[in-house]
Amino acid sequence: MEHQALINGINIQYETFGTKSNPAVLLISGLGTSMTRWTTPFCELLATKGYYIIRYDNRDTGCSTFTDKKFNSPEEVFAVLGKGIIEPPFYSLYDLAKDAILLLDYLEISKAHVMGRSMGGIIGQIIASKYKERVLSLTIIMSTSLNPILPQTSPEVMGRMMAPLPNYQTDRENHIKARLVFTKFISSTDLPFNEQEEIALIEKDYNRNERSNNTLMHVYAVGFTPYNREITASITCPTLIIHGTIDPIFLKEHALDLHQSIANSKLLLIANMGHDLHQDRYAEVIERFIEL
């Protein structure tokens, strides 16, 4: 059952799995995606291994608080970022990291394993650096340190990511079709793309909240979070980096950079894995996490 926590003046929607007396695992979602991307089967499987699982909607996604601001185009994003000044209602990934810590406070959890995917992996790095005493371990999946010297996402992929989607309420068929095309484009090539599972996730999101995730606010959050090598350099907890060799958003060099930058980290490069976490990989990912 989902719950809501009022923290730092905003509502954060969350859900738990397992027994609270077990070690906690905090799951952090990626850019513009709600907690449902950490699928129920993944959470339930992890809980059976003796953990207390917490998944939640970052602000501007799912059923958490949305920023009351409308955006018309990606060009507006770059215009605001070009000013180089972060002012309300904008925020950075440091703010999203604080949201995560305040959620743990609300749940009266002093320490947790932190697992983040994509943008959530960057948030996880900030938490492990700035709130060391709260982190038992860090697992970074398909993510980056934001190091600007690394190969960047291609213009083609960025264009697909930023392209506006047909409205779900008025053009459901084409909305789902567009989502499926992009998701398949960034997915693994060695495992079958489960179209029906993907449609079910899309529908689950809209059954929870008919409002579309405010993806552009997360683009701002990443843009307002400059690369800081001291973040990775100061991470001391056990760390696992999981990445695909054909990830088109964060190329594999991003994983190699993280592995080199975080002392004593472990690296799992998965051949033919894209920017996705396929259900057939759940067991391996969880097994490697438990070995940390």
User: What's the confidence (pLDDT) of residue 223?
Assistant: 94
The partner residues of 113 in beta bridges, in order of sequence, read 25, 137
Q: Which tokens hold the place of 20?
A: 């609270």
Would you say the pTM of this structure is higher than 0.95? yes
Q: Which tokens hold the place of 60?
A: 């501007």
E-assigned strands of the chain?
Answer: 2-7, 10-17, 24-28, 52-56, 112-117, 135-141, 239-244, 266-270
User: What's the confidence (pLDDT) of residue 19?
Assistant: 97
Angle in degrees, 0-180, between the axes of helices 74-82 and 215-223, rounded to the nearest 10: 30
User: What's the confidence (pLDDT) of residue 68?
Assistant: 87
User: What's the confidence (pLDDT) of residue 78?
Assistant: 82
Residue type, 214: N
Strand (E) or helix (H) holding 132: none
Give the per-residue SS3 of 162-228.
HCCCCCCCCCHHHHHHHHHHHHHHCCCCCCCCCHHHHHHHHHHHHHHCCCCCCHHHHHHHHHCCCCC
Q: Residues 193, 194, 196, 197: is their CA dihedral positive or negative?
A: negative
292 residues of the chain, pLDDT tens digit each: 899 999 989 999 999 999 999 999 999 999 999 999 999 999 999 999 999 999 999 999 999 999 988 777 778 888 888 888 898 899 999 999 999 999 999 999 999 999 999 999 999 999 999 999 999 999 999 999 999 999 999 999 988 888 888 888 899 899 999 999 999 999 999 999 999 999 999 999 888 988 888 888 999 999 999 999 999 999 999 999 999 999 999 999 999 999 999 999 999 999 999 999 999 999 999 999 999 9
User: What's the confidence (pLDDT) of residue 1?
Assistant: 87
Residue 274 Cα to chain centre, angstroms:
15
The partner residues of 268 in beta bridges, in order of sequence, read 242
User: What's the confidence (pLDDT) of residue 112?
Assistant: 98
Closest to 122 in 3D by CA, of 45, 218, 35: 218
Radius of gyration of the chain measured on its C-alpha atoms: 18
